Homo-oligomer: A and B are copies of this chain.
Amino acid sequence: MEKKIKAGVVGATGYAGAELVRLLLGHPQAEVAAISSVSFEGKALSEVYPAYYHLCDLPCGTQEEVVDASDVIFAALPHGLSQDLAAECAAKGKAFIDLGADFRLKSEEEYKQWYGGEFKDKNLHEQAVYGLPELFRSEIAGKRLVANPGCYTTAVPLALAPAVKNGLIETSGIVADCKSGVTGAGRKPTQNTHYPDLNEGFSAYKVAAHRHTPEMEQTISRLAGTPVKLTFVPHLLPINRGILATCYAKLRPGVSKEQILQAYEAMYEKEYFIRLLPQGRVADVKNVRYSNFCDISLHFDSRTDTLVAISAIDNMVKGAAGQAIQNMNLIFGVEEQAGLKIVPPAF
Which residues of chain B come closer than 8 Å to A183, judged between CB atoms? Answer: 196, 347
User: Contact: A208 with B238, CB < 8 Å?
Assistant: no
Of B175, B182, B290, the residue contacting A196 (CB under 8 A) is B182
Interface size on A (CB < 8 Å)? 88
CB-nearest residue of chain B to A50: B287
Which residues of chain B come closer than 8 Å to A250, judged between CB atoms? Answer: 173
Closest chain-B Cβ to A186's Cβ sits at a distance in Å of 9
User: Contact: A290 with B345, CB < 8 Å?
Assistant: yes
Is A205 close to B, CB under 8 A? yes
User: Contact: A51 with B286, CB < 8 Å?
Assistant: yes
Closest chain-B Cβ to A290's Cβ sits at a distance in Å of 6
A248 and B233 CA atoms in complex are apart in Å by: 10
CB-nearest residue of chain B to A203: B284
A51-B343, A207-B282, A244-B235 known; A194-B187 Cβ under 8 A: yes
A177-B177, A229-B304, A306-B208 known; A202-B285 Cβ under 8 A: yes
In chain A, positions 143-176 with a C-beta closer than 8 Å to chain B are 172-173, 175
Is A204 close to B, CB under 8 A? yes
Residue picked from A205, A207, A229, most chain B C-beta under 10 Å: A207
A265-276: contact bitstring with B at CB < 8 Å (1 yes, 0 no)? 000000000010
Copies assembled: 4
Of B52, B191, B195, B208, the residue contacting A343 (CB under 8 A) is B52
A29-55: contact bitstring with B at CB < 8 Å (1 yes, 0 no)? 000000000000000000001111111
User: Contact: B237 with A203, CB < 8 Å?
Assistant: no
A interface with B by C-beta (< 8 Å):
15, 18-19, 22, 25-26, 49-56, 172-173, 175, 177, 179, 181-183, 187-191, 193-205, 207-208, 213, 229-231, 233, 235, 237-242, 244, 246, 248, 250, 275, 277, 281-290, 295, 299-301, 303-304, 306, 308, 310, 312, 316, 341-347
A177-B246, A248-B231, A346-B52 known; A202-B237 Cβ under 8 A: yes
A196 and B14 CA atoms in complex are apart in Å by: 12
A304 and B26 CA atoms in complex are apart in Å by: 44
Which residues of chain B come closer than 8 Å to A289, judged between CB atoms? Answer: 51, 200
Which residues of chain B come closer than 8 Å to A300, judged between CB atoms? Answer: 208
A341 and B54 CA atoms in complex are apart in Å by: 11
Of B50, B204, B341, the residue contacting A246 (CB under 8 A) is B204
Closest chain-B Cβ to A219's Cβ sits at a distance in Å of 17
CB-nearest residue of chain B to A317: B345
A312 and B203 CA atoms in complex are apart in Å by: 9
Q: List 20 A-B contacts (CB under 8 A).
A: A19-B345, A26-B342, A49-B346, A50-B287, A51-B286, A51-B344, A51-B345, A173-B250, A187-B196, A188-B194, A189-B191, A189-B193, A195-B198, A195-B240, A199-B240, A200-B200, A200-B242, A202-B237, A208-B308, A235-B244
